[in-house]
Amino acid sequence: MAAANWTGVSEFILVSFSSLPTEIQSLLFLAFLIIYLVTLTGNSLIILVTLADPILHSPMYFFLRNLSFLEIGFNLVIVPKMLGTLLARDTTISFLGCATQMYFFFFFGVAECFLLATMAYDRYVAICSPLHYPVIMNQRTRIKLAVASWFPGFPVATVQTMWLFSFPFCGTNKVNHFCDSPPVLRLVCADTALFEIYAIVGTVLVVMTPCLLILCSYTRIAAAILRIPSAKGKHKAFSTCSSHLLVVSLFYVSSSLTYFRPKSNNSPESKKLLSLSYTVVTPMLNPIIYSLRNKEVKNALSRTIHKALTLRKSIP
């Protein structure tokens, strides 16, 4: 990064919800705090239970555990600072802090895109090739798929963050909501046409490519489900995919609407709502939609709690 840009702007002001009345901000703080705690607790339980219970050592729960790690990281990047602005009214963030927040936001976001595609492939193999599923999705393969899902976040986040923060900033230093690409890009006082082209191309590659892979997987899954003779079998097969489809739809629609037009004239408030859907709401829904409605996870959670209580009673 150019040294001049580091000295030109020393901090940013996160506008977020500061324009709202104090009473509304207090209610938002309480709502976001509850969502934050539910997100951390739910995803942490998924990680612990799927690690502790041997029955949940299947590939599906391995990828679900990776998704829970991502969702926790997503929340730690965004929500604590948001809670601080609502509670302490401390809306400032340093230049380096803003760049760091953006870097990890992109890293976790890109990794989640590819991990959702990997999870769709896992469901495709489980439904379309059930007899070969344990062989195809062996431990070595699923580790490779997990690494391949996490890795793209590093180069994308590095290029996007370093390029954007190498531009000169002038005028207002107010960032709408948090340090995401579209609001920070509005503060740049230079020609950003090339960067916007890169942002659109990057969105196509990072967001739409996994999305197309998911569509291909579910097209084959749908064809396989239609060939199942019994209604009960169709319902069971579809139930294993419905939760994934719901979260994928929410994540991809909101992120695509935000990043396909980085300098669009859409109202800042509408972009806040879109970003909240995949930075705050979706991570909270992960343990609810994916697992807490799952009988295997419920039984595993019950067994884990029972073992913990029994162990505690046995300790003098």
pLDDT in tens, 129-163: 888 999 999 999 999 999 999 999 999 999 999 99
Q: Which of 21-25, 63-67, 129-133, 220-224 has the lowest mean pLDDT?
A: 21-25
pLDDT surpasses 70 at 314: no
Dihedral sign for Cα atoms in the order 183, 186, 187, 190: positive
Q: What CA–CA distance (Å, rounded) separates 166 from 157?
A: 14
pLDDT class of 258 with cuts at 50, 70, 90: low
In degrees and rounded to multiples of 5, residue 94 shows phi and psi of -70, 160
Q: What CA–CA distance (Å, rounded) separates 18 from 245?
A: 35
Q: Distance of CA 68 to CAs 14, 39, 141, 230, 268, Å?
A: 27, 9, 20, 34, 29
Sheet containing 174-175, strands listed edge to edge, beginning at the edge strand earlier in sequence: 92-94, 11-14, 174-175
Mean pLDDT of 283-295: 73
The tokens for 188 are 């740049």
> Which of 80-84, 201-205, 256-260 is predicted most confidently?
80-84
Q: What CA–CA distance (Å, rounded) separates 57 from 52?
A: 9
- Tokens 């979706």 -> residue: 282
In degrees and rounded to multiples of 5, residue 129 shows phi and psi of -135, 60
Closest alpha carbon to 258 in 237, 283, 276: 276
Residue 189's SS3 state is coil
Give the type of residue at 185: L
Mean pLDDT of 223-229: 86
> Which of 21-35, 100-114, 244-258 is predicted most confidently?
100-114
pLDDT surpasses 80 at 171: no
Class of domain 15-259+270-289: mainly alpha
The residue that leads in pLDDT, 255 or 207, is 207
Q: Which residues of 22-47 are buried (b: 16+ CB within 10 A; e: fewer)?
A: eeebeebbeebeebbeebbebbebbb
In degrees and rounded to multiples of 5, residue 96 shows phi and psi of -65, -40
The residue that leads in pLDDT, 177 or 146, is 146
> Which of 16-20, 116-120, 203-207 is predicted most confidently?
116-120
Q: What whole-number percentage of the chain has pLDDT above 70?
A: 84
pLDDT at 270: 56
Q: Distance of CA 108 to CAs 66, 75, 157, Å?
A: 11, 10, 9
pLDDT class of 7 with cuts at 50, 70, 90: very low
Is the distance from CB of 75 to CB of 285 less than 8 angstroms?
no
Mean pLDDT of 257-278: 59
Closest alpha carbon to 221 in 245, 252, 246, 249: 245
In degrees and rounded to multiples of 5, residue 20 shows phi and psi of -80, 155
The residue that leads in pLDDT, 247 or 255, is 247
pLDDT at 22: 79
Sequence-ordered list of residues with C-beta below 8 angstroms from that of 169, at least 6 positions apart, any chain: 5, 8, 9, 187, 188, 189
pLDDT surpasses 80 at 223: yes
- Mean pLDDT (the chain) is 82
The residue that leads in pLDDT, 315 or 3, is 315
